[in-house]
């Protein structure tokens, strides 16, 4: 990760070169590297481009439960296969013809389709497997106006249940579309992918800012990306039995919360 970062214009700039020389590739040493805010990154993404690593393109869908159901994906960025089809252009009867057992998509696409189903415009069979909702940081290939994508809310869960007849599992994505945290059966926060990223909480005005260093995003290796999100990391055991820390909701100062609450 440090080597990937050292190949980018941003970290090769004369005023920052010393930072990486001093930093051995250990989590503890990261603290010597300044946090880069998501807003700053989005202003100058090309400065963080590692020329030696190609962009990954699409990725395989991570289904949160055993089995591999037929999933209609409502946004780009996911690899198609026998059970996974991408319908990124909005509602089309082809989605129903595909007979999906589940849906996956960004919140905006899921909300739009849910509304169309409830209005009787989209004729989608009831789903038999849970939905995956993507939230998280802006996906580089689909820049948005905002530096944050709205989080999944309790109202979304109700809407999706009414429209699709299925519960929803949230997956929190990094800037290269990589899954950095995901919801489990217990719906009690999102399990952090500690094998694929380093997560820190840094004191910030009015809370603890979530700071992420992703190992999967070697094409844009930002060390200590400040997400601008106030978060709490719970180390209490999860009901699902899976060990490891989880992100739990903290709506603070008008910033979005990043995970569902236990009450959902
Ligand atoms: Zn769990």
**50-61 pLDDT, tens digit each:** 999 988 789 999
Whose tokens are 């202003």? That residue is 43
65 CA from centroid of ligand 1 (Å): 12
Non-local CB neighbours of 65 within 8 Å, separated by 6+ positions: 129, 130, 169, 185
Q: What does the pLDDT read at residue 136?
A: 86
Averaged pLDDT for residues 148-160: 84
**E strand or H helix at 214:** strand 207-214
Q: What does the pLDDT read at residue 148?
A: 60
239 CA from centroid of ligand 1 (Å): 6
Residues of the chain with pLDDT > 70, as a percent, come to 85
Which of the four pLDDT bands, split at 50, 70 and 90, describes residue 27? low
88 CA from centroid of ligand 1 (Å): 30
More confident residue, 153 or 254: 153
Which of the four pLDDT bands, split at 50, 70 and 90, describes residue 182? very high
245 CA from centroid of ligand 1 (Å): 9
Which of the four pLDDT bands, split at 50, 70 and 90, describes residue 249? low
CA distance 134 to 178: 10
Q: Which residues of 147-183 are buried (b: 16+ CB within 10 A; e: fewer)?
A: bbbebbbeebbebbeebbebbbbbbbbbbbbbbbbbb
Which of the four pLDDT bands, split at 50, 70 and 90, describes residue 1? confident
Is residue 186 pLDDT above 50, yes or no? yes
CA distance 105 to 74: 5
12 CA from centroid of ligand 1 (Å): 40
234 CA from centroid of ligand 1 (Å): 11
pTM of the entire predicted model: 0.86
214 CA from centroid of ligand 1 (Å): 21
**103-135 pLDDT, tens digit each:** 999 999 999 999 999 999 999 999 999 999 998
248 CA from centroid of ligand 1 (Å): 11
246 CA from centroid of ligand 1 (Å): 8
32 CA from centroid of ligand 1 (Å): 32
Nearest of 201, 168, 200 to residue 185 by alpha carbon: 168
Q: What does the pLDDT read at residue 119?
A: 97
Three-class DSSP category at 212: strand
């Amino acid at each position: 990760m440090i080597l990937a970062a050292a190949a980018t214009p941003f970290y090769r700039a004369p005023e920052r070169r010393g930072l990486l020389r001093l930093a051995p590739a250990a989590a503890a040493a990261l603290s010597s590297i300044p946090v880069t805010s998501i807003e700053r990154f989005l202003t100058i993404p090309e400065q963080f481009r590692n020329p030696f690593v190609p962009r990954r393109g699409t990725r395989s869908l991570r289904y949160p439960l055993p089995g591999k159901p037929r999933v209609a994906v409502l946004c780009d960025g996911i690899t198609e296969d026998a059970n996974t089809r991408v319908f990124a252009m909005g509602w089309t009867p082809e989605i129903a013809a595909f007979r999906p057992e589940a849906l996956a998509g960004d919140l905006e696409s899921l909300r739009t389709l849910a509304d169309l189903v409830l209005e009787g415009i989209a004729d989608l069979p009831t789903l038999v497997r849970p939905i995956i909702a993507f939230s998280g940081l802006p996906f580089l290939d689909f820049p948005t106006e905002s530096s944050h994508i709205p989080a999944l809310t309790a109202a979304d869960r109700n809407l999706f249940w009414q429209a699709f007849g299925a519960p929803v599992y949230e997956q929190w994505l990094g800037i290269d579309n990589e899954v950095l945290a995901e919801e489990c059966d217990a719906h009690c926060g999102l399990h952090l992918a500690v094998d694929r990223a380093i997560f820190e909480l840094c004191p910030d005005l009015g809370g603890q800012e979530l700071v992420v260093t992703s190992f999967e995003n070697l094409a844009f290796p930002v060390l200590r990306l400040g997400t601008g999100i106030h978060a709490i990391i719970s180390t209490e055991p999860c009901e699902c039995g899976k060990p490891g820390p989880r992100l739990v909701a903290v709506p603070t100062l008008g910033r979005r919360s990043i995970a569902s609450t236990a009450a959902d």
